[in-house]
Amino acid sequence: MSSVTISEVIILIAATLLASSFATYLVFYSNIIQNNIATSIGAVRQQMNIRVKIVYATINESERCFIIYVKNVGYLPIHNSSFSFIDLYVGPYRRATLYRYDPNGGVGYFSIVDSDGDGVWEVGETAVLKAYYEVSTFNEEPLYEAKIYISNGIGDSYLFTPPP
């Protein structure tokens, strides 16, 4: 009889250890999943808080550049360290060219100057983007487009006509 009781106790202890190990495993991995979900939600929330709107665009033929006025309509400022993650497409409608950020400008690049010049594109502040092209090969197109994409935010597009 005692051997049956001892074997039942051993089985009971083994089952208890197995159940507690499984419960610990579940708690540990559920915390990891919860942290991953919270991180993803935080990234999406930040992306929704960074938003820009193109207010006006024109062509300056004397400087050979497109001038685009863009307002930060989001809830977070955009620092100059993030400017290199902005893509700007400007050119004739449906044939816009990609311009990359360079603080000095230059052909094929664009520069950003925020209103107060502190290098931080504050909420509600309008920045001037200048995208420099080499030679006007657009043959006086009737319609132009400007599109701005921010890697960690929401961009905008704008259609405009050249000045008379």
Say whether both 60 and 11 belong to one domain.
no
Give the pLDDT score at 149: 94
42 and 122 fall within a common domain:
no
Q: pTM score, two decimals? A: 0.75
Residues 61 and 134 in one domain: yes
- Please state the domain count of the chain: 2
The whole-number pLDDT of residue 128 equals: 96
Same domain, 81 and 149: yes
Q: Check residue 137 and give its pLDDT.
A: 59
Burial of 103 (0-12, 13-18, 19+ CB in 10 A): middle
Residue 129: give its domain's CATH number: 2.60.40
Asked if residues 157 and 53 have their Cβ atoms less than 8 Å apart, the reply is no
Residues 26 and 89 in one domain: no
Residues 33 and 82 in one domain: no
- pLDDT, position 139: 63
119 and 149 assigned to the same domain: yes
Same domain, 110 and 151: yes
Segments of the chain scoring below 70 in pLDDT = 1-4, 136-139
Of 49, 69, 87, which marks where a domain is finished?
49
Residues 35 and 80 in one domain: no
Are residues 151 and 76 part of one domain? Answer: yes
Structural domain harbouring 11: 1-49
Shared domain for 44 and 91, answered yes or no, is: no
Q: Are residues 94 and 107 in the same domain?
A: yes
